[in-house]
Structure 1
Amino acid sequence: MSIYVGNLSYEVTQEDLSAAFAEYGSVKRVQLPTDRETGRMRGFAFVEMDTDTEETAAIDALDGAEWMGRNLKVNKAKPREDRSSFGGNRRGNFSGRY
């Protein structure tokens, strides 16, 4: 499992996040997604730590905390939804004729 970290400054680096989360345990990995078109940070990250206990300690300490001029949103990451499904509320995919 990993931790979702939202409302990040666009200036944050992997090193910044590793240092902040290292106060609560061993950081295994930090992912900073970027926009495919611009290459710019998207304002959120995922952090993986060694144990659930360390993750819980980091979440409890950092959720809502002010860091780099922003109030962080920190919680357990949710599994990514399957975005390849057909239909739903997409408009323009079907002509309406059956």
Structure 2
Amino acid sequence: MVKIFVGGLRPDVSELDLVMYISLYAQVNTIKVVRDKVTKRCKGYAFLEMASQAEAEKAVSVLNGETFSGQVLNIKISEEPAPAPKPYVKANKPYANKRPRS
């Protein structure tokens, strides 16, 4: 799956309206509208997952700069962050339950 960023959203945007608008041009698998924890209003952006790279590119090329609910959309393919390096952990050897030989 490919994730896209959608910016320029109104504070009162609904997930259903956004999905219905974007799905006219590309298939949307999941959506996450980023909201304020207290007010539950949209912070102005969302992330959507598309089934393929081609669907994501189609959505970006058709919808970037278009108007949705009176706002100009900023849509781009989201860059995946590089995986964080794993911390060094010294391996502990398990203690063997052996009795000393006599």
Q: Same fold (TM over 0.5)?
A: yes
Q: Could you state the TM-score of these two structures normalised by the residue count of structure 1? A: 0.74
Letter in 2 for 1:20: Y
- Report the Cα distance in structure 2 between the residues aligned to 1:30 and 1:53, rounded to whole angstroms: 18
- The percentage of counterpart residues that share the same residue type is 28
- State whether residues 25 and 50 of structure 1, in contact with CA within 8 Å, keep that contact through their aligned partners in structure 2: no
Letter in 2 for 1:23: L
Q: Could you state the TM-score of these two structures normalised by the residue count of structure 2? A: 0.71
Query: How far does residue 21 in structure 1 lie from its aligned partner after superposition?
Result: 1.4
Query: How far does residue 78 in structure 1 lie from its aligned partner after superposition?
Result: 2.7
Query: How far does residue 36 in structure 1 lie from its aligned partner after superposition?
Result: 2.2
Superposed, which structure 2 residues align to 1:52-91 within 5 Å? 52-79=53-80
- Report the Cα distance in structure 2 between the residues aligned to 1:80 and 1:32, rounded to whole angstroms: 19
Number of residue pairs the alignment of both structures matches: 82
Superposed, which structure 2 residues align to 1:1-98 within 5 Å? 1-79=2-80
- Report the Cα distance in structure 1 between the residues aligned to 2:20 and 2:3, rounded to whole angstroms: 16
> Unpaired segments of 5 or more residues in structure 1?
83-98
- Report the Cα distance in structure 1 between the residues aligned to 2:42 and 2:26, rounded to whole angstroms: 25
Aligned Cα root-mean-square deviation (Å): 1.8
- Report the Cα distance in structure 2 between the residues aligned to 1:77 and 1:55, rounded to whole angstroms: 10
- State whether residues 35 and 41 of structure 1, in contact with CA within 8 Å, keep that contact through their aligned partners in structure 2: yes
Larger radius of gyration between Structure 1 and Structure 2: 2
- State whether residues 29 and 47 of structure 1, in contact with CA within 8 Å, keep that contact through their aligned partners in structure 2: yes
- Report the Cα distance in structure 2 between the residues aligned to 1:36 and 1:78, rounded to whole angstroms: 25
